[in-house]
């Protein structure tokens, strides 16, 4: 009799293990795959969006651009073709949120250093101050890897339009200058189709962790 129960005890253990495995497999199959949203101007705080596109609910993409990086090289959308990238807006003389944002972008750079699918792009909002030479000094100081991260400067109107009409990332300054702007702490995650897939607080370490996880999620769309 004891032998009978002993045999069934082992059978029960094996059955329990098999049940756990089967349930785990079914859960992994049925669990919905996380998909990042595709942000449109109508979904974003109107303060960040040019009035001409605040109503737009679909087909929003980052516009073509031509700017100079820290090495004096012309950087265009073609340098980011078929790439996922993280974009932000900053200026080198900023003493408040920019140093924190740049340090966090550096942390992202470390995580993606050997990932050929992902790049970084930081736009100066004070291009008259942030010359190529100034960007180069800042890049050296902050540990920028030229192969992964472009700091760009150029025509102020173009940068303003990119910020307000493409990345939906800065506020009007409101001082009478049509192209003055207040940059925000936002990092934007851009997919290979030049669509915005996420906004993150570039000063918040928890948001940086989320951003890195979202990059992994986004990469799965292309597998």
pLDDT tens string 54-86: 999 999 999 999 999 999 999 999 999 999 999
pLDDT at residue number 29: 53
Selected residue with higher pLDDT from 15 and 204: 204
Q: How confident is the model at residue 181 (pLDDT cuts 50, 70, 90)?
A: confident
| Strands 118-124 and 74-76, sheet pairing | unpaired
**Is the pLDDT higher at 204 or at 25?**
204
> In the chain, what percentage of residues exceed pLDDT 90?
78
> At residue 5, does pLDDT exceed 50?
no
For the entire predicted model, the pTM comes to: 0.84
Is 183 annotated as belonging to a binding site?
yes
Which positions ≥6 away from 98 have C-beta within 8 Å?
90, 91, 92
Predicted local distance difference test score (pLDDT) of residue 180 = 74
Mean pLDDT check: name the lowest of 8-22, 69-83, 154-168, 201-215. 8-22
Q: Give the residue-averaged pLDDT of 144-165.
A: 96
Rounded to an integer, the average pLDDT of 209-216 is: 98
Q: In angstroms, rounded to a whole number, what is the distance separating the alpha carbons of residues 58 and 174?
A: 28
Decide: helix, strand or coil at residue 13: helix
Whether the per-residue pLDDT at 167 is higher than 60: the answer is yes
């Amino acid at each position: 009799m004891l032998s009978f129960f002993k045999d069934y005890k082992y059978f029960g253990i094996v059955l329990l293990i098999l049940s756990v495995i089967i349930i785990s497999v079914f859960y992994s199959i049925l669990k919905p795959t996380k998909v990042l949203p595709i942000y449109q101007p109508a979904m974003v705080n109107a303060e960040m969006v040019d009035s001409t596109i605040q109503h737009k609910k679909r087909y929003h993409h980052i516009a073509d651009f031509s700017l100079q990086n820290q090495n004096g090289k012309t950087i265009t959308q073609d340098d980011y073709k078929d790439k996922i990238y993280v974009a932000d807006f900053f200026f080198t003389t900023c003493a408040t949120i920019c140093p924190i944002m740049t340090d966090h972008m550096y942390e992202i750079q470390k995580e993606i250093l050997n990932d050929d699918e992902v790049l970084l792009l930081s736009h100066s909002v004070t291009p008259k101050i942030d010359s190529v030479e100034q960007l180069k000094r800042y890049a050296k100081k902050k540990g920028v890897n030229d192969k992964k991260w472009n700091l760009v400067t150029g025509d102020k109107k173009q940068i303003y339009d990119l910020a307000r009409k493409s990345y939906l990332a800065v506020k009007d300054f409101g001082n009478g200058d049509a192209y003055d702007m207040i940059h925000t702490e936002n990092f934007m995650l851009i997919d290979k189709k030049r669509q915005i897939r996420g906004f993150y607080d570039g000063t918040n370490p928890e948001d940086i962790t989320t951003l890195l996880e979202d990059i992994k999620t986004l990469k799965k769309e292309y597998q």
